[in-house]
Chains A and B, each alone.
Chain A
Amino acid sequence: MNSVGEECTDMKREYDQCFNRWFAEKFLKGECSGDPCTELFRRYRDCVQKAIKDKDIPVDGVDFMGPSKSKTESDGSS
């Protein structure tokens, strides 16, 4: 699977591989040793955040463990 930033795809794959191994072999088994992929993630996230900015993807201000504020406001007029 690709990243939204083409230039980040290799970093994403490297990070995903590291994360998936930790998730399956440590996290789900209840071994809460720290995530060993933080450095790979930092590098990948910096790349993605730049791509999000360049492509003008409106990721900020979206609260998504529930309806967002603007969505709640629009509920009133339904």
Chain B
Amino acid sequence: MLLLSHWLGTTVLLGYFKLRVGPKLSSTCHPWDTVIKAAMRKYPNPMNPCVVGVDVVDRNLDPQGRLHSQRLLCTEWGLPSLVRAILGTNRTLTYIKEHSVVDPIEKKMVLCSTNISLTNLVSVDERLVYTPHPENPEETVLTQEAIITVKGVSLSSYLEGLMASTISSNARKGWDAIEWIIQNSESTVS
């Protein structure tokens, strides 16, 4: 990595930077089935207002009876205009591809996501696993891991910090969103 300059208080670096977050474990007091139903219909929710579009692009059952879903998420980033100028993009719409596998026998859901826009600047690969709590089936455990790779120009004092704190806060936010879905969907059938 090469230190290029100090510009507007932001250290600009050249190279590749990799940041690993997790694995982090957290749990919620809802059984696995309830959590998975909510996770599959997580958007829209007030905790993730940046997700503005969700589509299923492919879905199938494998021979083991697991359900694979490939989804496309469209997110609107709230990047400050200064950062947009530095990144040289006015595109605030970012697309994310997500692959989930739900195994109803083993009671396990694995969800992997990666951004497919701005990949020349940054990659965020996230993996979430939902399983029943090994000792208490009324609880569900979430294991969260992420790898953030910043490519080319790195805004070291801003971008990685933003990404890392976003990913870290996502675990709590994810549970809050699932809780919100559970509370708000009990009266509806679909």
Q: How large is the interface on B (under 10, 10 to 19, 20 to 34, 35 or more residues)?
A: 35 or more
Size class of the A contact interface (CB-based, 8 Å): 35 or more
Is A62 a contact partner of B57 (Cβ separation < 8 A)? no
List A contacts of B16 (CB < 8 A).
74-75, 77-78
The answer to the question of A58 belonging to the interface, with a C-beta cut-off of 8 Å to chain B, is yes
Which of A4, A12, A20 is the most central at the interface, judged by chain B CB atoms within 10 Å of its CB?
A4
A contact patch SS: helix
- Indicate which residue in B37, B95, B105, B147 contacts A23 across the interface (CB closer than 8 Å): B37
Give the B-binding residues of A (Cβ under 8 A). 1-5, 8, 12, 15-17, 19-21, 23-24, 27-30, 32, 35, 41, 44-45, 48-49, 52, 57-59, 62, 64-68, 70-71, 74-75, 77-78
User: Known: A20-B41, A21-B190, A28-B36. Is A59-B18 also a contact (CB below 8 A)?
Assistant: no
Q: Taking the nearest CB of chain A, how far is it from the CB of B54, in angstroms? A: 5
Q: Known: A16-B190, A17-B190, A78-B149. Is A62-B56 also a contact (CB below 8 A)? A: no
Known: A30-B104, A57-B95, A57-B116. A49 touches B189 (CB 8 A): no
Q: Is the CB of A65 within 8 A of B112?
A: yes
Q: Given A3-B53, A15-B56, A67 and B65 touching (CB < 8 A)?
A: no
Q: Is B17 an interface residue (CB 8 A)?
A: yes
Instruction: Determine whether B176 belongs to the interface, using a CB cutoff of 8 Å to chain A.
Output: no
Q: Supply 15 A–B pairs (Cβ within 8 Å), ascending by A.
A: A3-B55, A12-B55, A12-B56, A20-B190, A28-B36, A35-B59, A59-B95, A59-B116, A62-B97, A66-B112, A67-B125, A70-B119, A71-B123, A74-B16, A78-B149
Q: Please count the residue pairs between chain A and chain B whose beta carbons lie under 8 angstroms apart in the complex.
A: 109
- Contact partner of A71 (CB less than 8 A), chosen from B43, B95, B105, B149, is B149
Q: Given A3-B53, A15-B56, A68–B114 Cβ distance below 8 Å?
A: yes
Specify which chain A residues have a CB less than 8 angstroms from the CB of B61 in the assembled complex: 32, 35
In whole angstroms, how far apart are the Cα atoms of A28 and B58 in the complex? 19
Q: Which residues of chain B from 110 to 136 have any CB-CB distance to chain A below 8 Å in the complex?
A: 112-114, 116-117, 119, 123, 125
Q: Which B residues touch A32, using CB under 8 A? A: 61, 65
Q: Please name the residue on chain B nearest to A70 by beta carbon.
A: B119
Once bound together, how far apart are the Cα atoms of A25 and B46, in whole Å? 26
Contact of A1 among B15, B44, B125 (CB under 8 A): B44
Residues in A neighbouring B173, C-beta threshold 8 A: none
* B30 in contact (CB, < 8 A): no
